[in-house]
Amino acid sequence: MSLHRSLVVHAKLARSRSVLTRAERIAILIREGKFTEGKTSIYGLPKVRIRAGA
């Protein structure tokens, strides 16, 4: 019996995500020097660019 096409894993699903979790965004902002723990609020974080096509 074959799998329905919606259940088949495609290679296009393996590409990078376009949305980061809050922890990932904070880590990137700390690396760039735009976030300091204790001084910067975790709410209303600025957008973080993700490299397209790693």
Digit-coded pLDDT (tens) for 9-37: 765 555 666 788 889 999 999 999 988 88
Full domain range(s) for residue 25: 17-54
Within a domain: residue 28? yes
Q: What is the DSSP letter of 26?
A: H
DSSP type of residue 42: S
Quick check: is 3 in a domain? no
41 falls within a domain: yes
Both structure tokens of 35: 């976030």
**Domain contains 8:** no
Residue 19 — φ and ψ, nearest 5°? -125, 130
In a domain, 2, yes or no: no
Give the model's pLDDT for residue 13. Answer: 56
Residue 11 lies in a domain: no
pTM assigned to the model = 0.58
